Structure 1
Amino acid sequence: MYQIEKFKNGLTVVLEPIPYVKSISLGIFVGSGSGNEPTNLNGISHFIEHMNFKGTKTRSAREIAEVLDSVGGKLNAYTSKEHTSYYATVLDEHFDTALALMSDIFFNSLYRESDIETEKRVVLEEIKMYEDSPDEIIHDLYVRNIWPDFNLGQPVIGRKEVVSSLTRQDVVDYLDEHYFPGNIIISVAGKFKKDQILEKIREVFSRLNNKKKIHKESKLPTFKSGVNLINKETEQIHLCFGSRGVSYHDERRYPLLVLSSIIGGSMSSVLFQEIREKRGLVYSIFSYPQYFKNSGLFTIYAGTGLKNARDVLAIIIEKIENLKKDFPVNMLITAKEQLKGNLILGLESTSNKMSWNGKNYFYYEKVLNVKEISRIINKIEVDDLLKLLDYIVNPQYYALTAIGNFKEDIFKGIINDK
């Protein structure tokens, strides 16, 4: 059972002892992502994540990398559109080592000018690598085209011209604005005694001073439908097609997971069976929902040859629109069991449990009970999914972004005339 503690300085700690394991996972979640960034600083949250591994007052970048390696542990971090996470997993006897390391990079990172210039080159190479992976960047471009005028549409990795111009003062100012206790959640899951761990965390993180100013949340974005084609030499056409979705706080988020599973979430899904198994038009096709604090998207990805791309999109639209009048009721039970199984099995590791608890508190200010979620999933009926289909499968909100060697708009008339 988890326990939530709030320190006087505003920092939140979520603890969940799991006595039968040998590992312990520690995560620090900061409410800083590309959705919080002004346009002229797009990518700075991700850049700061990189910089926090470049050296502290007592450790070089190499020593930071070696600390947990030497005790068989793992250290990593990621940045999303709405938060940044630093996390580690070690054997329980090495928790003090992990805590000391993570607090060191949190409090004592130097952000040297020379390191900033070096890391800018690293991130610019990362952006180039990303741009050379059309099956990856297509998802980012799709979101950008739907929300072109909103921070939530900005790429997490940033844009070349912005990253190139970042300064040490930009980094220090942004840290001051976002890295304060009221904007930080610490999550711990694994083998430990609550009181001992809590005291160790308090001893380290109570020195942080809270701030009255709170950073601005991303604004509620307005959905922009339509077709966006990016001309690029590729072997395949990579496309993302979709519509509006729901937010983390919308009660339809679980029905949407079930619906996505039926549409394109597994090998037995409608689109996989029809477009790959029956027609052989794709290797990869899948659907997924994206949830944010105040908005969301539903997306279908497919990779196919130029001569098949128009047919693939037409079949996708035909199949999802047909669900309104001919819903595969027999797939509902399978989809619900799949979702529950993935949820429960996914929380068996201390790392995933720590992440679940931390992100839950970030979005809901509580940790959602897995048994209660399972009960909610069990109650989902066909009517719930049909209502959701009416919301999602609406030509007014159809959006398509595709990358490939286009000589013309091969999709003309499929979406444009709806």
Structure 2
Amino acid sequence: MTKYNTFTLDNGLRVIHLPSDSQVVYCGIAVKAGTRHELPGEEGLAHFCEHLSFKGTQKMSAVQIINAIEGLGGELNAFTNKEDTVFYCAIQAKHAKKAIGVLCDIVFDSTYPQAEVEKEREVVCDEIDSYEDTPAELIYDEFENILFEGHPLGHNILGTSEQVRSYTSDDAHRFTSRYYRPENCVFFLSGDIDKKTIATTLNKSIKGKGEQAVQPAGHTATPLKEKTDERLLVRHRGTHQAHVMLGTRAFAGSDPRRWALYLLNNILGGPGLNSRLNIALRERNGLVYSVDSSMVSYSDTGMWSVYFGCDPADVKRCLRLVRRELDKLMQKPLSTTQLAAAKRQLQGQLAIASDSREQFALDFAKNFLHTGKERDLTDIMRHIDGLTSDDLQKVAKQLFAEDRITTLIYK
């Protein structure tokens, strides 16, 4: 079992530390503040605040923030999702205290100067324009908005250019004062730094924070509605290639059925070239360059989907082939040999993925942020080992039935 150190500072900041003998440290701060925490009129603000956090603090200018880490050969970055924003750093262990200080500064002491807000608006608007010119990415957001219509989970993470251009320094202060607080965050670190040094450096870097209770997340007042009754939606975007996405709502992160879907998803459209959808659409019929399926679990719901791009004339044929593979999993349980092979492949992929220390650190940080539990690869392997063919078939029947599937087509 993976051996973590976990503790909570007096100001409420939770800490998870994975010791290792590596001389590279991966560390960061995960904030429970994402798209779903935006109130009406705040769409895109979580992502915008992520950008603005690098634009000046009480101690450092934007250029000083960049040089503080990059000047030491390290890397400083951040990303925003539907349920969290994560600031993270990779740096030599001997500079870890410096990295901790910079991370705490940008998360808890950013000033969001209006001059920088005005410049960064255009940067984010360019990002939005670039995204809208990429239908293979844009379709994911529209599809999620269809499945979670009327709920913040369906909102585009970036927001709209019109909305972003309306934001001010005051908006950033208002949003971050709700969520960028020690009580609502997790500090994580993987590397050769002792627990005492981490605690001492964090306490020194976060002064006077955490005195007020964090406000409840905005999504608590927004219940999920029934899924849309629309099953086929076509958007005429004038693209050379047709882009197709199909899927349905799935399971929350606490739902035990997610393990069966995890294995089913890998069988259908995982990263392996031997996935059933890749074999059916590409290898046997030469209809697509790539096809994949994906799943995501949120705190109270989830989503499963398939995406492929193809010639517009081949859309119907590709959809029939996808439907055939889904029907197979619904109608016939996997044989003992097939189940064992599927488990072996997924567990091998997980073992290799866990060797990426940065990604593993991000994974255990987000898991600890949302569940309070330590991420243990051995436990994940145990859940996969315990799956039966009957488990997989039950989930396939529940999720893959034709009347549950929504399809979105760009052409």
State the TM-score, normalizing by the size of structure 1: 0.92
User: Does 2:322 match 1:316?
Assistant: yes
Taking only the aligned residue pairs, the percentage that are identical comes to: 28
User: Does 2:377 match 1:370?
Assistant: yes
Partner secondary structure for residue 324 of structure 1: helix
Q: Is contact 1:236-1:304 (8 Å) kept?
A: yes
1:34-69 CA-partner distances (Å, limit 9, x unpaired): 111123110101000000111234433223222222
User: Does 2:81 match 1:80?
Assistant: yes
Q: Is contact 2:58-2:111 (8 Å) kept?
A: yes
2: distance between equivalents of 1:198 and 1:64? 22
Partner of 2:177: 176
User: Does 2:13 match 1:11?
Assistant: yes
**How many residues were matched structurally?**
403
Q: AA paired with 2:9? A: F
Q: Is contact 2:291-2:307 (8 Å) kept?
A: yes
2: distance between equivalents of 1:192 and 1:397? 49
Partner of 1:357: 364
1:11-51 CA-partner distances (Å, limit 9, x unpaired): 111111112x1111111011111111123110101000000
Give the CA deviation at 1:386: 0.2
Give the CA deviation at 1:205: 2.5
Partner secondary structure for residue 99 of structure 1: helix
Which stretch shifts more, 80-89 or 200-209? 200-209
2: distance between equivalents of 1:274 and 1:331? 17
User: Does 2:250 match 1:250?
Assistant: no
Which stretch shifts more, 201-210 or 235-244? 201-210
Go from structure 1 to structure 2 and tell me whether the alpha carbon gap of 1:282 and 1:328 turns closer, same or farther (over 3 Å shift). Answer: farther
Give the CA deviation at 1:77: 0.1
User: Does 2:107 match 1:112?
Assistant: no
Go from structure 1 to structure 2 and tell me whether the alpha carbon gap of 1:32 and 1:228 turns closer, same or farther (over 3 Å shift). Answer: same
Which stretch shifts more, 383-392 or 333-342? 333-342
Out of 322, 335, 343, which is 1:336 matched to?
A: 343
Partner secondary structure for residue 212 of structure 2: coil
1:209-253 CA-partner distances (Å, limit 9, x unpaired): 243332233544232242222211211111110122111111111
Q: AA paired with 2:228? A: K
User: Does 2:133 match 1:126?
Assistant: no
2: distance between equivalents of 1:349 and 1:277? 30
Q: Is contact 2:81-2:157 (8 Å) kept?
A: yes
Which stretch shifts more, 206-215 or 230-239? 206-215
1:265-312 CA-partner distances (Å, limit 9, x unpaired): 121111110111001111110111111110011100010011001111
Q: Is contact 2:334-2:389 (8 Å) kept?
A: no
2: distance between equivalents of 1:60 and 1:331? 57
Partner of 1:163: 164
Partner of 2:288: 282
1: distance between equivalents of 2:328 and 2:342? 18
Partner of 1:30: 31
Instruction: Could you tell me which runs of 5 or more consecutive residues in structure 1 were left unpaired when the two chains were aligned.
Output: 405-418
Give the CA deviation at 1:319: 1.8
1: distance between equivalents of 2:356 and 2:73? 16
Out of 370, 383, 396, which is 2:403 matched to?
A: 396
Partner of 1:151: 152
Go from structure 1 to structure 2 and tell me whether the alpha carbon gap of 1:11 and 1:252 turns closer, same or farther (over 3 Å shift). Answer: same
Give the CA deviation at 1:85: 0.2
Give the CA deviation at 1:363: 2.1
Give the CA deviation at 1:167: 1.9
2: distance between equivalents of 1:312 and 1:358? 39
Go from structure 1 to structure 2 and tell me whether the alpha carbon gap of 1:332 and 1:220 turns closer, same or farther (over 3 Å shift). Answer: farther
Q: AA paired with 2:233? A: N
Partner secondary structure for residue 165 of structure 2: helix
Q: AA paired with 2:19? A: P
Q: Is contact 1:187-1:354 (8 Å) kept?
A: yes
Partner secondary structure for residue 247 of structure 2: strand
Q: Is contact 1:285-1:300 (8 Å) kept?
A: yes
Q: AA paired with 2:332? A: D
2: distance between equivalents of 1:247 and 1:108? 34
2: distance between equivalents of 1:319 and 1:131? 31
Give the CA deviation at 1:75: 0.6
Go from structure 1 to structure 2 and tell me whether the alpha carbon gap of 1:62 and 1:206 turns closer, same or farther (over 3 Å shift). Answer: closer
Go from structure 1 to structure 2 and tell me whether the alpha carbon gap of 1:277 and 1:327 turns closer, same or farther (over 3 Å shift). Answer: farther
Partner of 1:301: 307
State the TM-score, normalizing by the size of structure 2: 0.94
Go from structure 1 to structure 2 and tell me whether the alpha carbon gap of 1:352 and 1:206 turns closer, same or farther (over 3 Å shift). Answer: farther
User: Does 2:383 match 1:383?
Assistant: no
Which stretch shifts more, 387-396 or 334-343? 334-343
2: distance between equivalents of 1:349 and 1:273? 28
Which stretch shifts more, 210-219 or 126-135? 210-219
Q: Is contact 2:14-2:183 (8 Å) kept?
A: yes
Partner of 1:239: 244
1:56-67 counterparts in 2 under 5 A? 56-67=57-68
Go from structure 1 to structure 2 and tell me whether the alpha carbon gap of 1:253 and 1:49 turns closer, same or farther (over 3 Å shift). Answer: same
1: distance between equivalents of 2:36 and 2:25? 31
Give the CA deviation at 1:71: 1.6
Q: Is contact 1:31-1:82 (8 Å) kept?
A: yes
Partner secondary structure for residue 81 of structure 1: coil
Go from structure 1 to structure 2 and tell me whether the alpha carbon gap of 1:345 and 1:210 turns closer, same or farther (over 3 Å shift). Answer: farther
Give the CA deviation at 1:103: 2.1
